[in-house]
Amino acid sequence: MFRFFETLVDPYADYPQTDRPPRGLRSYLLYLSRPFRKVFAWAFVTSIAVAAVEIWLIGYLGRVVDLMGNTTPAAFWAAHGVELVAMAVFLVTLRPALQGLNVALLNNAVMPNFGTLFRWRAHRHVLRQSVGWFENDFAGRIANRIMQAPPAAGEAVFQVFDALTFATAYVIGAAILLADADLRLFIPMAAWFAAYLALLRWTVRRIGPASKAASDARSAVTGRVVDSYTNIQSVKLFAHHSGELDYAKEAIDHARSTFAAEMRLFTIMDVVLTLLNGALVLGVVGWAIWLWGQGAASVGVVAAAAALVLRLNAMTGWIMWAVSNFFQSLGVVSEGLETIAQPVTLTDRPGAPALRLEKGAIALRDLTHHYGQQTGGLDAITLDIAPGEKIGLIGRSGAGKSTLVKLLLRFYDPDGGRIEIDGQDIAGVSQDSLRREIGMVSQDASLLHRSVRDNILYGRPEAGEAQMIAAARKAQAHDFILGLRDAQGRTGYDAQVGERGVKLSGGQRQRIALARVILKDAPILVLDEATSALDSEVEAAIQDTLYGMMEGKTVIAIAHRLSTIAHMDRILVLDQGRIAEAGSHGDLLGRGGLYAGFWARQSGGFLGTDDKTEAAG
């Protein structure tokens, strides 16, 4: 039975993806709710039916009290025995079945699937964002919003049908029952209901913004805490333990203040609600007793009125909390949408074809990119790289080297100009097909928090075990991998490497990253300080592997250690976003320019750089 309800909606079913999801809270939730329309309709109907049955039972109780007061037990059973037996059967069969259908729709069809659908679509959308988009926010805050918003949305939907629909039907039914018993009993309830709605409106207008502020503050705490944990080595290295505590405390205290402000609203609401409910009991039950004393109401009417208002008295607190939680949840969702619903701006053109790589020729035409600033990045670069040509790229920090690589991979779109591969503008082909043809080993060899096997196979998931091990051997990684063992006792290629590969040394991470690119075997190869983390002995052993990797490929290699690129076909010297010099190692030395100066100032084979930091390049 549970499986039936749990599979009424498939949260992973195909849906029309959009680069610009709805930004508004209401429109976004309606967008998510489309697969649940039939389930929501049934939940609405059953919630109303459950409330109607409960009101009817209270009215029936009043009828039974009147019947018992007007006859003897024997006559009562003789006249109404069959009716009471039928009522008993109804109470233990149809009523539980109706209630069961209602809760199964909510608990088993809606709750597990709505949040899952939300989180799946949110993660799928966020994962399509550009690298630059991720660089502008805390990873922890992004993850926190994707984790917080979906359950909050599920809770809001649950409250709509479990509390709001039920409560609305119940209050309307209660008003009809009281008015039917004696119209005058409706007066105190109407007055109470008006005051209740005023309190509800006061609470709702304040709880949404307060909840959003508290949710924002919690996300900020997560962002700061995760930032400290992710960079724990730097925290320890610079002995900034107390500084990180102060940094986190500032956010934690702000979260405390916003949460306290939110809780004040609930306290005020609770006290006022208790006062209103006391007035409701006094007004309806007291008036019913007074009417009975005047002979204008039966004992059954008094019993039904008392049962009804006592039930309302118990239920109104729950309704108020449900409504408050509803808007509190909407506040969390609204805060999450600030991240989740942001449009994807770096997109494929409609119907973009896959890159058709035939030779591997790369052409840069007036390529310009300044990261939205006036300086930094690249400035009108024009360059042709022949198929199979090996290019060395050097320059001071900030000269634009990394910017060129990021634009080639289309992590950003250029401010001006274009990049062509085999005559195809990379802005006009699909991003996935572009990146499948480029293998890159960067200076910061970041690994996934998975096994060594998973990390190497990331380069080519369909590769076999033998191919993976062969790649590891070429990267001089196989021997140390066999000696790995993680905290759970997994060894060798099954050992987990930790977040970003933190359990491994820099050289070990670099060699696994190299193995991953070797396995990928892409026709265009980008090396961004690929051997910077290796010691001299391992680097010497791996140089032959690197040269073997380059064979038949178009290569762009960034290096500060000039000896690693001295044998390239051509070396480009970037300076202030432009190509200042170009030629072979011998040619550039003969010119006596920037390259010759760098070579002369090398110490231990590294490029002498100034103190400028590379903000963009």
- Higher-confidence residue: 537 or 268? 268
Give the per-residue pLDDT at 609: 47
CA atoms within a 13 Å half-sphere pointing along the CA-CB vector of 268: 14
Q: Which CATH architecture has domain 9-340?
A: Up-down Bundle (1.20)
Can you tell me the distance from the alpha carbon of 323 to that of 158, in angstroms, rounded to the nearest whole number?
Answer: 11
Would you say 563 and 544 are in contact if contact means Cβ atoms under 8 Å apart? no
Can you tell me the distance from the alpha carbon of 166 to that of 234, in angstroms, rounded to the nearest whole number?
Answer: 55
Residue intervals in the chain for CATH 1.20.1560.10? 9-340
Report pLDDT digits (tens) over 248-262: 899 999 999 998 988
Report pLDDT digits (tens) over 268-294: 887 888 888 788 777 777 877 887 877
Two structure tokens written together for 230: 């992710």
Give the per-residue pLDDT at 615: 37
In eight-state DSSP terms, residue 184 is: G
Would you say 554 and 523 are in contact if contact means Cβ atoms under 8 Å apart? yes
Residue intervals in the chain for CATH 3.40.50.300? 365-437+524-617, 444-521
Average pLDDT (58-64) is 75
Give the per-residue pLDDT at 322: 75
Give the per-residue pLDDT at 613: 34
Right CATH number for 444-521 from 3.40.50.800, 3.40.50.300, 3.30.1300.10, 3.90.1150.10?
3.40.50.300
Give the per-residue pLDDT at 604: 43
CA angle at 305 for the pair 304 and 306, rounded to the nearest 5°: 90
**CA–CA distance from 418 to each of 315, 364, 383, 518 (Å)?**
65, 6, 11, 28
Q: Indicate if the pLDDT at residue 468 is higher than 90.
A: yes
- Higher-confidence residue: 434 or 538? 434
Q: Indicate if the pLDDT at residue 306 is higher than 80.
A: no
Among 51, 111, 265, 283, smallest CA distance to 186 is for: 283
Give the per-residue pLDDT at 481: 94
- pLDDT band (50, 70, 90) for residue 131: confident
Give the per-residue pLDDT at 531: 67
Give the per-residue pLDDT at 421: 95
Determine the 3-state secondary structure of 375 from DSSP. coil
Can you tell me the distance from the alpha carbon of 285 to that of 291, in angstroms, rounded to the nearest whole number?
Answer: 10
- pLDDT band (50, 70, 90) for residue 469: very high
- Higher-confidence residue: 307 or 382? 382
Lowest mean pLDDT segment, chosen from 251-260, 324-333, 411-420 = 324-333
Lowest mean pLDDT segment, chosen from 293-302, 483-492, 569-578 = 293-302
Q: Indicate if the pLDDT at residue 177 is higher than 50.
A: yes
Q: Indicate if the pLDDT at residue 384 is higher than 90.
A: yes
Q: What burial letters (b/e) apply to 521-557, b meaning 16+ CB within 10 Å?
A: ebbbbbbbbbbbbbeeebbeebeebbeebbeebbbbb
Give the per-residue pLDDT at 352: 93
- pLDDT band (50, 70, 90) for residue 328: confident
Whole-number average pLDDT of the chain:
84
Average pLDDT (111-140) is 89
Lowest mean pLDDT segment, chosen from 235-239, 258-262, 586-590 = 235-239
Two structure tokens written together for 139: 């990873």
Strand locations in 347-437 (E): 362-369, 378-385, 390-395, 416-421, 424-425
- Higher-confidence residue: 244 or 301? 244
Among 4, 31, 331, smallest CA distance to 155 is for: 331
- Higher-confidence residue: 406 or 335? 406
Element (H, E) at 60: helix 37-69
Percent over 90 (pLDDT), the chain: 34
- pLDDT band (50, 70, 90) for residue 295: confident
Give the per-residue pLDDT at 423: 93
- pLDDT band (50, 70, 90) for residue 185: confident
Can you tell me the distance from the alpha carbon of 534 to that of 304, in angstroms, rounded to the nearest whole number?
Answer: 84
Average pLDDT (481-488) is 91
- pLDDT band (50, 70, 90) for residue 532: low
Give the per-residue pLDDT at 263: 85
Q: Which residues contact 601 (CB under 8 A, 6 or more apart)?
A: 608
Average pLDDT (580-597) is 90
- Higher-confidence residue: 85 or 232? 85
The CATH T-level fold of domain 365-437+524-617 is: Rossmann fold (3.40.50)
Q: Indicate if the pLDDT at residue 427 is higher than 80.
A: yes
Report pLDDT digits (tens) over 336-381: 898 889 999 888 998 999 999 989 999 999 999 988 776 678 988 9
Can you tell me the distance from the alpha carbon of 423 to that of 474, in angstroms, rounded to the nearest whole number?
Answer: 33
Would you say 571 and 583 are in contact if contact means Cβ atoms under 8 Å apart? yes
In eight-state DSSP terms, residue 603 is: B
Q: Which residue has the tokens 């809780």?
A: 263
In eight-state DSSP terms, residue 590 is: H
CA atoms within a 13 Å half-sphere pointing along the CA-CB vector of 317: 13
- pLDDT band (50, 70, 90) for residue 181: low
Give the per-residue pLDDT at 610: 45
Q: Indicate if the pLDDT at residue 35 is higher than 80.
A: yes
- Residue 237 one-letter amino acid: L
Determine the 3-state secondary structure of 440 from DSSP. strand
